[in-house]
Structure 1
Amino acid sequence: MRRRTFAASLGAAAVAATAVPGIAAAKTSGRCEDAYTWRNAVVNGGGYVPGIVFNETEADLAYARTDIGGLYRWQEATQAWLPLLDWVGFDNWGWTGVVSVATDPVETDRVYAAVGTYTNDWDPNPGAVLYSDDRGATWGVAELPFKQGGNMPGRGMGERLAVDPADNAVVYLGAPNGNGLWRSTDHGRTWAKVEAFPNAGDFVQDPGSDYSDDNQGVIWIEFDQADGRIFVGVADPDDPLYVSEDRGQTWQPVPGAAAIGSVDGNRTIPKQAAIDHANGHLFIVTSWDPGPYNGAPASGKGGAIWRLDLATGGWADVTPTYSPVGKTPGFGGITVDRQRPGTLMAATQNNWYPDEIIYRSRDSGATWETSWDYAFDANWSWPPERVDRFKMDASGSEWLSFGAADDGPAYAVKHGWMIDALAIDPHNSDRIMWGTGATIWGTEQLTAWDAQGPLVGWDAEAGHQVALPVEQFTVAVRADGVEETAVQDIAALGGTLVSATGDLGGFVQDDLGRAGEQIRHPDWSSGRSVDFAALNPDIVVGSGDVHGDVDGHVGVSTDRGATWLTTKRLEGVAGGANGGTVAVSADGAVIVWTPGDGTTAPVSSSDLGQTWTTVDGLPAGAKVRADRVDPNRLYAYASGKFYASGNGGLSFAETGASGLPPTGDVDFRAAPGKRGHLWLAGGNDPDVVDPLYGMWRSKDGGATWSRIRDFEEADAVGFGKGRGRRGYPAIFTSAKAGGQRGIWRSTDEGLSWQRVNDDAHQWAWTGKSITGDPEVYGRVYIATNGRGLIYGDIAD
């Protein structure tokens, strides 16, 4: 992701930011005559959902927050989620990392979101609190004098935002990194630090890391409805819990709370909390790690569940004593059932094998039942029989198997991992939803659990355990409408769309309304680039970061992505984040791959990647593209220099071109049907003097370039079907013209440009990849960093 700077006030004054539907036809010349409609190419989820919050007083009102993909509101009528932050623009991309969400229990149209993606220098901008009076249809923005970490460690801990139910004009915010507790008294418009709050926290997971070195700070706020007390969890194992009995004027440590700051001698913090108001219990999940990546029992650290009696002040350790995996794992989310006092549930954090465990108690934590269990035979043979309370239905998201098959007790479709979001509907005991690192699961049959009884019994005659009969209920995907993939590259073949995605590898879609086939062979952890042979689009290539030491980084398909072959692993290039970029000649005869390690020169293959030969004349890291007409011509760019090959990619030579950006993120693409026509976008390294940033074009294979003066900035460029039978391909770009960031289109070879998106549809950072469709005039595909693959069509 590009690191960019912009001028921003660090004050607490609110700035209106209204998302109004409709086309804002900004232009460089001429007016956009086409209104657009926008949709997602459906994946259903694809990223981490660290928080799900139901409104306490209005049924069917719920919000789901994501770490980089914005905020969503539940739509009961359609059983789907509605995105609420698509208005966030390119320069404020960090606002799509949602640290916390609070829904007002008094005036239920009000909702708040604490935003900011990184607390380090990856995001140069401060955090903010977004406030809405109409359930997220429009928003105001109150910037803060510190950063927040929607994609940092600890993002799945308890909600840092909370509305005071006794005075809903008062909203609290817990901050990281020594910034303490903050409060607004005007419905989130302005904020001030609560100077009386005595402890800003001191827990740092890894002081030597640029990513895990946050002081987790003030973690969550809970209100005791019986007497108005306010409880605040703090990342300080010695003083983890504070209370105010006078509406936040003064604060004191809760007596006895230091006992919860240690598990097996390891320092722990109060990660999440939930109050059972009817019984007067505060439940707290503690952990040695802020999550979401750790917490596995093999660490020997784990966590605990504690219960505080709010009337007596007495503490009880109610951690489940039994686990199918032999010891109690670390925990993620915790939730209570408002309709059934004494009922609560908790989830393990990252119990990778064979699955996460969901715990349920109906007696305030005195006893617990597990969502699954083992039944061993008399010889304690491995693997044992596994028995489950519910079955997982991945319909519509079949990729959740990640290409695996059931392997004994390790099912391909799991309960999940990184389960910090766990929420029983306060109005419906049968509904629960939980978020994972990939999706949202849920059911409306939860109380069927209570009629099942034990999962495992003892056969006295046989002398061993037996699985008891269970009438299972169904848990299914509840992520419809949530599109959270970070798309790295796009190839539109005409009728088939191929995408490379972070974390998930990639997808091949013939129907944009369905998730399609996940690219699983080679075994990409993240897809990085895709390309196809322009004269033979049945041949598709892709590159990605790979697991293990077997698969090559490059994958090849000869049937438009229906099936894939792995390529030979290149000696000396490790797995990990080395996918780099790949290109294929117009006829599909030659593949050229640039490894992403930054030290290995590009290589070529003429046998579908079974052998590789070092390309002569190109430096390591050179980005290569193929001419879309001439199979012998390929092009490359590196550090301000442009290269061309006339022998099918065997060797390259500098073209002598000048005036291109010498540094920064740069990409270029070859225009379909036009030999030697190239368009280049990018630049902008803020660390150099007078950085070049914008768009250039060449008509002679990169020998000479002219700048497109319409754009002050440009980051991605691509092509679609032209206007008319002989028209130049439509050109699409994510760029800035006349001070306006947007998605721009030209239908006259770049002579004029029109902005096709509007202020309600900006999707934050859109600089990675863009392309049109070769068969559908006007259609554009946009890669986003956390809002999936967006596509737009000219409205009917």
Structure 2
Amino acid sequence: MKSMIKGLALAAALVLLPTGWQPLLEASGSTAPAYRWDNVAIGGGGYVTGLAIHPETPDLVYARTDVGGAYRWDPLTQSWIQLLNSISYEDKNLYGIDAIAVDPSDDQVIYAAAGMYNNGATPSDVLKSTDRGTTWSRTNLNKPFAANGNLERSYGEAIAVHPSDSNQLLVGTRNDGIWKSVNGASRTDGTGSATDVNNWTQATGIPLDTEGRGVRSIVYKDAATVYAGVPGYGVYESTDGGSSWTHMPASPVHPRRLQLSTDGSVMYATHSAGVAKYKAGVWSNITPPTSQHLNTSSASTNYNGLTVDPADADHLIAARRAGSVPEDMFRSTDGGATWSNMNRSFQVNHSSPWWNPGYLAGALSSILFDPHVPGRVWMSDWLGIYRTEDVAQSKVIWTTYTKGHEEMVGFDLISPPTGAPLLAAYADNDGMRHDDLTQFPLKKFGHPALSETTALDYVEADPNEMVRVGGYSHGARGGGASSSDGGLTWTEFGDFPKDAVGVKLPHGNVAVSATNPELIVTLPINSPPMRSDDGGQTWAAGVGTPDKIKLSFWNWSQVIAADKIEGEVFYLYHAGKFYRSDDGGIEWAVTHANLPTTGAGYVKAAPGQAGEVWVSLSTHGLYRTTDRGATFSKLANVQEALLFGFGKAAPGTNTSAVYLYGKANGATRMGIYRSDDSGATWTRINDDQHLIGGNPRDMEGDRQVYGRVYVATDGTGVWYGEPAAAAAPDTVAPVSPTALSATPNLDGTVTLSWSPPADPDILHYVIYDGNERLRLASGDAASATIADIQPGRTYHFSIVARDTSWQASAASATVCYTAS
């Protein structure tokens, strides 16, 4: 095997991998301190659609995702390394990975079919890395892929490298059949000129699929024989190394994944009607019987996940794809003659506390035997990546590995001036309070457990008072809640705006009065603004705006805001017009009718300034009013404003820091900027290793830490950046809380009380029962209520204080409490 990285002339989009939490170089001409960037720790939460393991090098594992790039496993830290952080916003379509493949002869080489959507979105290309994903080059195939386009995204790998010749590569596309390279997908001369193209050749005999399902699995049997799965058409065979293909009679019509035994004597295929086996030139049906389904009422025989033990051609696992949790995973040790359902008895050790305890194999995509460790199997699904060390156990024990896999899709962010530094609204996973940016949250918001929270806001005069709105099943119906303890607990609104047939309206945006937590204005889908003056018990439509403003659930714009000083004043942008309500959302009036029109606007009121509102209008730039919307000025040195947010003022000033995701100072591509003088000047604070281009959806400055900014993305989680000087926080841990006591309540709960330490920067308290972390309490608290107390059980309560530099105190003295 080649152990040295091959030289490759990098062309077009060069991608550099950050190697973790490290100081970054400033962009040319910047005078700000260097910034460091990292993900907020969430822990999974996105669809991992495929896995690849190098056959010769242990622990070299890759994962691909539908919208969140690609990852490489780091066995030393037991975590995943994102490989595509440096793709720019302009090339954001490349964050969707439709297929991934290693070079069996060179463990430095990896290929990725990059393209999120097959709808004309560009670019879409095969990427090549010769250093395990640290840097990438475009190969100029430029055919559309659809990593987030349809069910086929979770099927097999449509890239394959010749088993002994690194120069030969086959790529299956969504619309254009199979293409072959005989020079390792390298450019002709590496100049990047119009004549510098790859020697790609289109194979013959593969149907060109007009429905975009395409070629979804390619496997080499030997140097000449190759198989390809083409959903809707069947399995195809090539005997000339992939140049020409013929259909295999009697093969499954809708193949999902193909797997060959190590010696090539047998091939297995999952498909829409079960599991098939090809041996000695004959196809046979080896589908597990429906009587072995966990849910026997589900007769679906749609199978997807598939793996064969490299050491035993008769040992295989096939997984059903029927929309169940868990999906059925069947294991056979006799080549499919008989099967056992692995999921009749299993255990899952979740590394992310907020995952449902029994969650396993939802929308299972890939499952692979590890060729280097007998019995070890990797698996991926809708939320993350799992591994078991012994698949033959009667009770299979799975462990999730979510550290570094940050694929959550963000809708909205808030950073209150007190309490937790960040609360985030997420698609598919409700939302979470992030007390510690480096630790996974203990739980999702809950009460109600929305499928997705789409917007958050807090009362400026009392940031413990918060509201949130969202819905279920991507806009099928709506819901919302309020919190009086900074998002630690939530109470569902008593009622919610409804449509004509009584269904709660799915919601987009929300704003709460700066002074009155009972006064809430929300903007449902296909509705005028709705207001409540009793904390969500009753709702009424405002007048003076169009009847329909937000038309789509998948619209991230936040176009309503509350003034940060005046409690009755709210603002709204729509279709080039700026509206204001001076009576808490009852009546709205146009104050300015000549703003540019865009469907991607964001409206935010400046902290500490009555009547000051900023509006970002995408390619039209950034606008500011200081007179409640009567007049606006466009910031001359901002060319584009995709996102913006306010943060804590620089030391010695009262002017909020402003952060921008856009183009400023004449830049030709998107960057992240900070202004400390109300937008008069801007300094770029990210660099080319951290372009964070994966569909950024919201931005917020930290109201408690100057210089820190958050960026929520559509697939790579939430990023935060801060001056590198902040990398050296104080090293003095707070002293332990004292006088801890436990008092029973009539409702069966227990109230813990303590004397806080004298430290002025306590972020939160962590409450334990023995070694089990129970919950967090805010840094300004001196008591907390513990629910779910079990009668007869003895609890061993203790408490740890953590400061804003994440230094933890020693545990307090333990208080033993036996519930009656």
Deviations 1:493-546 (A, max 9, x none): 244121111111211121222134212322422221111111110111111123
Determine the structure 1 residue equivalent to 2:352. 397
Determine the structure 1 residue equivalent to 2:426. 501
Structure 2 CA distance for aligned equivalents of residues 36 and 643 of structure 1: 37
Determine the structure 1 residue equivalent to 2:341. 370
- Structure 1 position 44, deviation (Å): 1.1
- Structure 1 position 792, deviation (Å): 1.1
**CA distance 1:489–1:548, change in 2 (3 Å):** closer
Q: Which runs of 5+ in 2 are unaligned?
A: 1-9, 188-197, 551-558, 726-820
Question: 1:59 corresponds to which letter in structure 2?
Answer: P
User: SS at 2:705's partner residue?
Assistant: coil
- Structure 1 position 286, deviation (Å): 1.1
Determine the structure 2 residue equivalent to 1:643. 579
**CA distance 1:316–1:143, change in 2 (3 Å):** same
- Structure 1 position 192, deviation (Å): 5.4
Determine the structure 1 residue equivalent to 2:759. none
- Structure 1 position 549, deviation (Å): 12
Question: CA contact under 8 A between 1:429 and 1:446: conserved in structure 2?
Answer: no
Which 10-residue stretch deviates more, 316-325 or 179-188? 316-325
Question: 1:540 corresponds to which letter in structure 2?
Answer: M
Structure 1 CA distance for aligned equivalents of residues 339 and 97 of structure 2: 32
Mapping of residues 183-262 of structure 1, within 5 Å: 183-190=180-187, 191=198, 194-202=201-209, 214-225=211-222, 228-237=224-233, 240-254=234-248, 256-258=249-251, 260-261=252-253
Determine the structure 2 residue equivalent to 1:341. 313
- Structure 1 position 617, deviation (Å): 2.3
Determine the structure 2 residue equivalent to 1:164. 162
**CA distance 1:776–1:766, change in 2 (3 Å):** farther
User: SS at 2:621's partner residue?
Assistant: strand
Deviations 1:361-409 (A, max 9, x none): 1112121111134xxxxxxxxxxxxxx1x21122x323222xxxxxxxx
Tell me if 1:666 matches 2:637: no
Of 681, 687, 697, 1:768 maps to 697
Tell me if 1:128 matches 2:125: yes
Question: CA contact under 8 A between 1:201 and 1:236: conserved in structure 2?
Answer: no
Of 274, 279, 286, 2:259 maps to 274
- Structure 1 position 93, deviation (Å): 0.7
Structure 2 CA distance for aligned equivalents of residues 524 and 71 of structure 1: 28
Determine the structure 1 residue equivalent to 2:657. 730
Structure 2 CA distance for aligned equivalents of residues 350 and 367 of structure 1: 21
Determine the structure 2 residue equivalent to 1:789. 718
Structure ranking higher on relative contact order (CA contacts 8 Å, 6+ apart): 1
Structure 2 CA distance for aligned equivalents of residues 66 and 576 of structure 1: 33
Structure 1 CA distance for aligned equivalents of residues 64 and 537 of structure 2: 44
Structure 2 CA distance for aligned equivalents of residues 763 and 35 of structure 1: 16
Question: 1:427 corresponds to which letter in structure 2?
Answer: H
Tell me if 1:440 matches 2:409: no
Structure 2 CA distance for aligned equivalents of residues 759 and 589 of structure 1: 42
User: SS at 1:92's partner residue?
Assistant: helix
Structure 1 CA distance for aligned equivalents of residues 695 and 114 of structure 2: 18
Mapping of residues 296-315 of structure 1, within 5 Å: 303-309=273-279, 312-315=280-283
Question: CA contact under 8 A between 1:578 and 1:595: conserved in structure 2?
Answer: no
Question: CA contact under 8 A between 1:636 and 1:643: conserved in structure 2?
Answer: yes
Tell me if 1:180 matches 2:125: no
Question: 1:511 corresponds to which letter in structure 2?
Answer: D
Structure 1 CA distance for aligned equivalents of residues 362 and 505 of structure 2: 22
Of 420, 425, 433, 2:370 maps to 425
Determine the structure 2 residue equivalent to 1:558. 484
- Structure 1 position 612, deviation (Å): 0.8
Structure 2 CA distance for aligned equivalents of residues 575 and 89 of structure 1: 41
Question: 2:83 corresponds to which letter in structure 1?
Answer: L
Determine the structure 2 residue equivalent to 1:144. 141
Tell me if 1:759 matches 2:688: yes
Question: CA contact under 8 A between 2:342 and 2:396: conserved in structure 1?
Answer: no
Determine the structure 2 residue equivalent to 1:707. 634
Tell me if 1:518 matches 2:444: yes
Structure 2 CA distance for aligned equivalents of residues 591 and 230 of structure 1: 66
User: SS at 2:107's partner residue?
Assistant: coil
- Structure 1 position 590, deviation (Å): 4.4
Structure 2 CA distance for aligned equivalents of residues 82 and 529 of structure 1: 30
- Structure 1 position 473, deviation (Å): 4.5
Question: CA contact under 8 A between 1:201 and 1:235: conserved in structure 2?
Answer: no
Tell me if 1:483 matches 2:406: yes
User: SS at 1:616's partner residue?
Assistant: coil
Count of paired positions: 682
- Structure 1 position 25, deviation (Å): 3.0
Give % identity: 32
Question: 1:771 corresponds to which letter in structure 2?
Answer: E
Question: CA contact under 8 A between 1:69 and 1:97: conserved in structure 2?
Answer: yes
Q: Which runs of 5+ in 1 are unaligned?
A: 1-12, 205-213, 262-268, 288-302, 374-387, 402-411, 453-471, 685-692
Determine the structure 2 residue equivalent to 1:79. 78
Structure 2 CA distance for aligned equivalents of residues 107 and 60 of structure 1: 15
Determine the structure 2 residue equivalent to 1:211. none
**CA distance 1:350–1:328, change in 2 (3 Å):** closer
Question: 2:67 corresponds to which letter in structure 1?
Answer: I
**CA distance 1:439–1:96, change in 2 (3 Å):** same
Question: CA contact under 8 A between 2:40 and 2:720: conserved in structure 1?
Answer: yes
Deviations 1:428-471 (A, max 9, x none): 12321211111212222323x2xx3xxxxxxxxxxxxxxxxxxx
Question: CA contact under 8 A between 2:520 and 2:535: conserved in structure 1?
Answer: no
Structure 2 CA distance for aligned equivalents of residues 88 and 70 of structure 1: 9
Deviations 1:593-649 (A, max 9, x none): 444322x21111121101112223233327320111221222111111112222333
Tell me if 1:631 matches 2:602: no
Question: CA contact under 8 A between 1:500 and 1:506: conserved in structure 2?
Answer: yes
- Structure 1 position 56, deviation (Å): 1.0
Tell me if 1:537 matches 2:463: yes
**How high is the TM-score relative to the length of structure 1?**
0.82
